Amino acid sequence: MVTLEPEPVLEYGRKKESVVQKKRSKNTLIFLVLTLVGAILLLLSIHTLETLNYQFRSSLHSASTPPHLFQKHSYCVHLGQEPSPKEAQEEQNLLDSIAWPEPPPRHNPIPLQETSDPAHSKFTILPAEDWREWRVGDQLKALVNMHDFQGRIKSHGGDFLLAKLHSPELGAGVAGQVLDHRNGTYSAVFTLLWEGPARVEVTLVHPSEAVAVLLRLREQRPDRIFFKSLYRSGLLSETTTCNLCLPDNQQPVCNHTDSRTGDPWYCYKPKLLGCDKRIDHATGGYHRDLLTNTEAGLFQSNVNIKVPIRASGSDMIIVQPEKKDKAEVESNRVRAEPVRVIPSGYYFQGSWRSLGGLAMRQFNDSSAITQCLKDKVMYLYGDSTIRQWFEYLNAILSEMKEFNLHSPNKIGPFMAVDSTHNILLRYRCHGPPIRYSTAIASEMHYVANELDGLAGGADTVVVISVWAHFSTYPMKVYIRRMRQIRRAVVHLLDRAPGTLVVIRSTNLQALDPEVSLNNSDWFSLQLDTVLRAMFRGLDVLLLDAWEMTLAHQSPHDLHPPPPIVRNMIDAVLSYVCPEKI
Ligand SMILES: *[C@@H]1O[C@H](CO)[C@@H](O)[C@H](O)[C@H]1NC(C)=O
Ligand SMILES: *[C@@H]1O[C@H](CO)[C@@H](O)[C@H](O)[C@H]1NC(C)=O
Ligand SMILES: *[C@@H]1O[C@H](CO)[C@@H](O)[C@H](O)[C@H]1NC(C)=O
Ligand SMILES: *[C@@H]1O[C@H](CO)[C@@H](O)[C@H](O)[C@H]1NC(C)=O
Beta strands in 305-413 (DSSP E): 307-311, 316-320, 345-348, 351-354, 377-382, 401-403
* Residue 356 CA to ligand 4 centre (angstroms): 23
Contact 134, 220 (CB under 8 A): no
pLDDT of 266-325, one tens digit each?
999 999 999 999 999 999 999 988 999 999 999 999 999 999 999 999 999 999 998 766
- C-alpha angle 123-524-258 in degrees, rounded to nearest 5: 170
Can you tell me the distance from the alpha carbon of 531 to that of 470, in angstroms, rounded to the nearest whole number? 12
What average pLDDT does the segment 515-544 reach?
97
Strand-pairing partners, residue 316, are 199
CA dihedral (501, 506, 509, 512) in degrees, to 10, reads 140
* Residue 166 CA to ligand 1 centre (angstroms): 27
Share of the chain above pLDDT 90, in %: 76
Q: Is the CB of 185 under 6 A from ligand 1?
A: yes
Biggest CA pair distance of the chain: 90
Contact 179, 159 (CB under 8 A): no
Ligand nearest to the CA of 78: 2
Can you tell me the distance from the alpha carbon of 50 to that of 276, in angstroms, rounded to the nearest whole number? 18
Q: Encode 312-322: b = buried (16+ Cβ within 10 Å), e = exposed.
A: eeebebebeee
Contact 428, 239 (CB under 8 A): no
Can you tell me the distance from the alpha carbon of 217 to that of 298, in angstroms, rounded to the nearest whole number? 14
Q: Is the CB of 559 under 6 A from ligand 3?
A: no
* Residue 234 CA to ligand 2 centre (angstroms): 28
Torsion-angle region of 137 (φ positive above 0: left; ψ -120 to 50: alpha; else: beta): left
Q: Is the CB of 181 under 6 A from ligand 1?
A: yes
DSSP per position, 13-34: SSHHHHHHHHTHHHHHHHHHHH
Contact 563, 552 (CB under 8 A): yes
Ligand nearest to the CA of 516: 3
- Which of 485, 426, 496, 490 has its CA nearest to residue 459? 496
Ligand nearest to the CA of 126: 1
- pLDDT greater than 90 at residue 488: yes
Can you tell me the distance from the alpha carbon of 284 to that of 91, in angstroms, rounded to the nearest whole number? 30
What pLDDT does 139 receive? 94
**Residue from 221, 518, 557 to probe ligand 3 pocket by mutation (most atoms less than 8 Å from CB):** 518
Ligand nearest to the CA of 179: 1
How long is the chain? 581
Q: What is the atom index within ligand 3 of the atom nearest the CA of 290?
A: 5
Q: Which CATH class is domain 374-566?
A: alpha beta
* Residue 503 CA to ligand 3 centre (angstroms): 27
H-assigned helices in 425-520: 447-452, 475-495, 513-519
What average pLDDT does the segment 502-527 reach?
97
Atom 11 (ligand 3): residue with closest C-alpha? 515
pLDDT of 223-250, one tens digit each?
999 999 999 999 999 999 999 999 877 7
Strand pairing category for 541-543 and 500-504: parallel
Neighbour tally for 403: CB within 10 Å: 12
- pLDDT greater than 90 at residue 432: yes
**Residue from 351, 362, 367 to probe ligand 4 pocket by mutation (most atoms less than 8 Å from CB):** 362
**Residues lining ligand 4, Cβ inside 6 A:** 362, 364-365, 368
- C-alpha angle 32-37-38 in degrees, rounded to nearest 5: 85
Q: Which is higher by pLDDT, 31 or 362?
A: 362
- Which of 196, 198, 195, 191 has its CA nearest to residue 329? 191
* Residue 338 CA to ligand 1 centre (angstroms): 19
Q: Encode 471-482: b = buried (16+ Cβ within 10 Å), e = exposed.
A: bbbbbbbbbbbb
What average pLDDT does the segment 154-163 reach?
98
Q: Is the CB of 518 under 6 A from ligand 3?
A: yes
Contact 211, 158 (CB under 8 A): yes
What average pLDDT does the segment 546-568 reach?
98
pLDDT of 106-138, one tens digit each?
888 899 999 999 999 999 999 988 778 999 999
* Residue 515 CA to ligand 3 centre (angstroms): 6
* Residue 579 CA to ligand 4 centre (angstroms): 15
Rg (CA), the chain: 26
What pLDDT does 13 receive? 29
CATH number corresponding to 113-212+298-335: 2.60.40.10
Strand-pairing partners, residue 330, are none
* Residue 514 CA to ligand 3 centre (angstroms): 5
* Residue 189 CA to ligand 1 centre (angstroms): 16
Ligand nearest to the CA of 145: 1
List the chain domain ranges.
113-212+298-335, 374-566
